[in-house]
Chains A and B, each alone.
Chain A
Amino acid sequence: MASESILRVDAVEKAFGGIQAVDRCSLTVLPKSITGLIGPNGAGKSTLFNIIAGLYRPDGGEIWFDGTRIDGLPPYEIVHLGLTKTWQIPHELRNLTVLENLVLAAKGNSGEHLLNLFFRPRAVKRDEKQWRARAREVLKLTQLDGLANEHARTLSGGQKKLLELSRALMSDPTLVLLDEPVAGVNPALTGSLMDLIEKLRQSGRTFFLIEHDMNVVMNRCDWVIVMHQGRRIAEGRPEKVKTDPVVIESYLGG
């Protein structure tokens, strides 16, 4: 079972100043799936994502990604291993353009290393051109290509979410953690985004997403995991989870 999962969270715990945000949470995500993570507010979902991505260090437990243990690794190493995450509140780089935001998400852009600027200028130019082209492709997929040269601070809330998603796709990740990827995005675009995610899944990627939009969860996720008070309380196919009394209880009581 362990070798089948692409992400395994094993009894992870994290406390902040007396409040136990994640309480010995264990879950697994299967490869090439679109798995949803739901639960009432304050259940610890975003915190768990931050821990998986390496931004917080768990107080206890283990996290395994594709056979490698990643808890304790810094975020940039985790990204290099193929796991990216978007932010629930968009962390766009405000005074940089949309295109710059995306190109920064590139993996292995030789121009980003100081010595290469002087000793390998041709490689620098080549990589930069290549990544800019790829960024434009990604922007086309998320329908942001018209805004490529605008500063990121001028984007609307929904557009910033799209920027988050675009950035996550740039480095060709194996597993993408999406924290409310379509909150604030209009339904038509939501549809095409989820189509895009479906297409990407078919080419081998895994998506693990936190969402409150039940349409998305029900119609698009293969599997749903429910968190409450820092632990997993239920999981299963969407229809089953929707009618699970424990889950309903948590939403009403929480």
Chain B
Amino acid sequence: MTLAATGSSGGAKDVAQRKLPWSQLIAFVAIAGIVLAGVLAGALAGASPQGILTNVGFYASIAIIFAVLALGFNLQWGYTGLFNAGIAGFYLIGAYTMAIAITAPSPPIVIGGIPVYPGHLGGYSLPLAIGAILAMFAAGAAAAIIALPALRLRADYLAIATLAFASILQIFANNLQSVTGGAIGITGIPKPIAFLSADAPFLNAITIVGIGSAILLAFLLLLQFMAESPWGRVLRAVREDEEATMALGKNTFNYKLQAFALGGALMGLAGALFAVTLGYVSPSSSFAPAVTFSVWVMVIVGGSGNNRGVIVGAFLIYGLEWLSVQLKDYVPIALAAGLPTLHLLLIVTGFIAVITVVLIVLLSRYRPTTAGGQVLRKIQGHGWARTGVIGAFALYGLGWAFVFLEQYKPGAIGDTIFYTRLMLIGVLLIILIIYRPEGILREHKRVLR
């Protein structure tokens, strides 16, 4: 069975299946579209090609980090039914552990009697790999400790307890100044390869993407192996009906504990990757509950229990966030410079679209047997294809609205798009949970032979 590519564009058709997996195709096309749009925005604003590529590299890195978070949450919720609302907490533990382990020591800085930087614990300058392992261990241990009292709680109580846990951690990170560096945090986290040239950001981004992809792939394979195993089967049984599973002779608490701790360890790993990618950690919005909620969306979109799906979900949802930042940064400039170009683009695309539609309709009426003629029927038949087409048209209309808005009220888009994307996540959550809680990308039908 082929594995989905985790790159930012391109797709992988599942050779084993006879039908086209429409939903996966559309997801990949959407991701490609997002990246393209971001690149376009940058290009129109006059950014250098290297800057754009670094940007895309950043997207890939953070998307990979979210993918690891999503895999961890998928193990806890998708397989075992444990609803963790404190993902950000384990993420934070991993990030800070990594930072403490691998940075050089930095004593407090006092300028003129005023403590400017409170210093932080550690600075052991350990190699990155050891730091990552420590991060996983710390987060996993924290998860295990929390699990002992919390796992027997009903789902909503568990959510509240884990949310409280994550909030307490944020408070500690902010205030335990000599340990965590307070509000400033820990800076100067070494990158995997130290470059001195001007290409440094770009090369670092590529390195991180490379290492991150390798880690992601490795853990995906590992998780798939564990999920398909008898152990994973018990987890699924626990999610279905814990009491029945107990009556079958399983110590369900142990299984829940293991799943929760392992999921926590994965979240810690994501935190470690984050520390290295960003180069610093601080108790800011990077560890806010919004992170937890974003991961929820990613897993719900991808289909809970579907490891490959949640990775795609992560790339998709974070893609939206990244795109919104790109647009916020570049749109004012781009539009000022490239408004006529955009206009032209939209007109040309619209023209092409109209001609394509006319062709398809004509073909399906007069030459229904050709491949081209079949397309219309396929679109009408598949809900997904219909949604895709409608989505494309909606995007097109949105593009026009965009252009007009920016023309008559410059700067409006830039400010609000940041928050509209969060509202979009909220709307997505609601719509998905009502109409399609099993996710958009289907879980493979598991059959034991």
Report if A and B touch in the complex (beta carbons < 8 A).
yes
| Contact call B231/A74, Cβ cutoff below 8 A | no
Contacts of B248 in A (CB 8 A): 79, 104-105, 167
| Contact call B225/A117, Cβ cutoff below 8 A | yes
Contacts of B233 in A (CB 8 A): 96, 100, 103-104, 112
Contacts of A99 in B (CB 8 A): 448
Residues of B in contact, count (CB < 8 Å): 26
| Contact call A113/B247, Cβ cutoff below 8 A | no
A76 at the interface (CB under 8 A from B): yes
Report which of B226, B234, B243, B446 forms a contact with A104, defined as CB distance below 8 A: B234
| Contact call A79/B237, Cβ cutoff below 8 A | no
Contacts of B241 in A (CB 8 A): 91, 93-94
What is the minimal beta-carbon distance from A151 to any residue of chain B, in angstroms? 8
Contacts of A92 in B (CB 8 A): 244
Give a binary string over B411-449; 1 marks a CB under 8 Å from any A CB, 0 the rest: 000000000000000000000000000000000001111
How long is the Cα–Cα vector from A91 to B231 in the complex, in angstroms? 20
What is the minimal beta-carbon distance from A63 to any residue of chain B, in angstroms? 16
Q: Which A residues from 93 to 125 make CB contacts under 8 A with B?
A: 93-97, 99-100, 103-105, 107, 109, 111-114, 117, 124
What is the minimal beta-carbon distance from B231 to any residue of chain A, in angstroms? 5
B364 at the interface (CB under 8 A from A): no
B245 at the interface (CB under 8 A from A): yes
How long is the Cα–Cα vector from A105 to B233 in the complex, in angstroms? 11
How long is the Cα–Cα vector from A114 to B235 in the complex, in angstroms? 11
A64 at the interface (CB under 8 A from B): no
| Contact call B247/A55, Cβ cutoff below 8 A | yes
What is the minimal beta-carbon distance from B235 to any residue of chain A, in angstroms? 10
| Contact call A117/B229, Cβ cutoff below 8 A | yes
Tally of A-B residue pairs with Cβ under 8 A?
A: 89
| Contact call B230/A95, Cβ cutoff below 8 A | no
| Contact call A111/B230, Cβ cutoff below 8 A | yes
A85 at the interface (CB under 8 A from B): yes
How long is the Cα–Cα vector from A100 to B245 in the complex, in angstroms? 12
Contacts of B226 in A (CB 8 A): 114, 117
A201 at the interface (CB under 8 A from B): no
| Contact call B247/A75, Cβ cutoff below 8 A | yes
How long is the Cα–Cα vector from A114 to B237 in the complex, in angstroms? 15
| Contact call A75/B249, Cβ cutoff below 8 A | yes
The winner among B226, B233, B234, B237 for most chain A CB atoms within 10 A is: B233
How long is the Cα–Cα vector from A79 to B244 in the complex, in angstroms? 12
B191 at the interface (CB under 8 A from A): no
Report which of A87, A94, A111 forms a contact with B229, defined as CB distance below 8 A: A111
Give a binary string over B213-238; 1 marks a CB under 8 Å from any A CB, 0 the rest: 00000000000011001110110110
B341 at the interface (CB under 8 A from A): no
| Contact call A87/B230, Cβ cutoff below 8 A | no
| Contact call B240/A87, Cβ cutoff below 8 A | no
A53 at the interface (CB under 8 A from B): yes
Contacts of A93 in B (CB 8 A): 236-237, 240-241, 244-245
Give a binary string over A74-92; 1 marks a CB under 8 Å from any B CB, 0 the rest: 1110011000110100011
The winner among B226, B241, B246, B448 for most chain A CB atoms within 10 A is: B448
A134 at the interface (CB under 8 A from B): no
How long is the Cα–Cα vector from A55 to B240 in the complex, in angstroms? 17
| Contact call B244/A100, Cβ cutoff below 8 A | no
| Contact call A55/B249, Cβ cutoff below 8 A | no
Give a binary string over B125-139; 1 marks a CB under 8 Å from any A CB, 0 the rest: 000000000000000
What is the minimal beta-carbon distance from A169 to any residue of chain B, in angstroms? 12
Q: Which B residues from 236 to 260 make CB contacts under 8 A with A?
A: 236-237, 240-241, 243-252, 258
A35 at the interface (CB under 8 A from B): no
What is the minimal beta-carbon distance from A78 to any residue of chain B, in angstroms? 8
What is the minimal beta-carbon distance from B305 to any residue of chain A, in angstroms? 9
How long is the Cα–Cα vector from A104 to B245 in the complex, in angstroms? 8
How long is the Cα–Cα vector from A149 to B446 in the complex, in angstroms? 9
| Contact call B247/A85, Cβ cutoff below 8 A | yes
What is the minimal beta-carbon distance from A29 to any residue of chain B, in angstroms? 19
Give a binary string over B60-94; 1 marks a CB under 8 Å from any A CB, 0 the rest: 00000000000000000000000000000000000
| Contact call B230/A96, Cβ cutoff below 8 A | no
A128 at the interface (CB under 8 A from B): yes
Contacts of A75 in B (CB 8 A): 246-247, 249
Contacts of A114 in B (CB 8 A): 226, 231, 258
3 tightest CB-CB pairs across the interface, nearest first? A111-B230, A79-B249, A91-B244
Which A residues lie at the B interface, using CB under 8 A?
A: 53, 55, 74-76, 79-80, 84-85, 87, 91-97, 99-100, 103-105, 107, 109, 111-114, 117, 124, 127-128, 132, 149, 167, 171
Assuming A75-B247, A97-B448, A112-B234, what are 14 further A-B pairs, CB within 8 angstroms?
A: A53-B247, A76-B252, A79-B247, A79-B249, A87-B244, A95-B240, A96-B240, A100-B448, A104-B233, A104-B234, A104-B237, A114-B231, A117-B225, A167-B248
Which B residues lie at the A interface, using CB under 8 A?
A: 225-226, 229-231, 233-234, 236-237, 240-241, 243-252, 258, 446-449
